[in-house]
Amino acid sequence: MKALTYIEHGKFALQEKAKPQLVSARDALVRVTLGSICTSDLHIKHGSVPRAVPGITVGHEMVGVVEAVGADVKTVKPGDRVTVNVETFCGECFFCKKGFVNNCTDPHGGWALGCRIDGGQAEFVRVPYADQGLNKIPDSVTDEQALFVGDILATGFWATRISEITEEDTVLIIGAGPTGICTLLCVMLKQPKRIIICEKDAARAEFVRKHYPDVLLCEPEECEAFVKEHSDHGGADVV
């Protein structure tokens, strides 16, 4: 199969690799139908992720179809369309039980896919702890609509949830890239008093103006003064 591979600092390559196989009874094999490129992939390329293993297939946000499952997998079966979580986690250690799955103590826990074990910018990917990391895609949802569930939409949702936003709050979001917009959508569900986005890219700012006209916009150079002017307590309540 074709797989985008981390060769060494500054170098990725599309290589031919063997189709992955199930290793554990808790594994699933997923045929990838759509994947994304994350800034974290670029961090690997630029040498900012020392834990990344040369030779691994990169990619940690993808959707696909389950091809095979280990004997202990209960929640998905071959033929199911699924999202793949960026984190692989055992679900049983102290951190997993607290919900901090990025800190899973298992050797293949946390950010492993596309970093320490082969990821999903390939035709197939092996997903450890499939019961924890795979979610079925409803028939009414397309692969493209579901793609961001495993990473950047989850990031925005988690950030919003732990921020304890109220309807009286001023919320400041730094950046209106894909993760920023996903965060914005989740923040809007909390219906805060006002939302401010700080974004320097003209195209991204225009996207916000067009699709979310009630959101206030500012650039980094004016952010501090703008936020003070448009908040009730001298600054944002949530950032």
Token pair for 15: 């290589």
Mean pLDDT of 223-227: 97
The pLDDT, as a whole number, for residue 107 is: 87
The pTM of the full predicted model, rounded to 2 decimals, is 0.86
For residues 151 and 61, is the Cβ–Cβ distance under 8 A? yes
Token pair for 142: 């397309």
Instruction: For residue 10, give Cα distances in angstroms to 41, 46, 60.
Output: 11, 6, 19
The rounded percent of the chain whose pLDDT value lies above 90 is 93
Task: Report the C-alpha gap between 17 and 126 in whole angstroms.
Answer: 13
Q: Which domains does the chain have, with CATH numbers?
A: 2-149 (3.90.180.10), 155-229 (3.40.50.720)
Task: Report the C-alpha gap between 201 and 222 in whole angstroms.
Answer: 14
pLDDT in tens, 21-78: 999 999 999 999 999 988 899 999 999 999 999 999 999 999 999 999 999 999 999 9
The CB-side HSE value for 169 (13 A sphere, CA atoms) comes to: 19
For residues 212 and 182, is the Cβ–Cβ distance under 8 A? no
- Residues 6+ away with beta carbon under 8 Å from 81: 33, 63, 64, 65, 136, 137, 143, 146
The pLDDT, as a whole number, for residue 38 is: 87
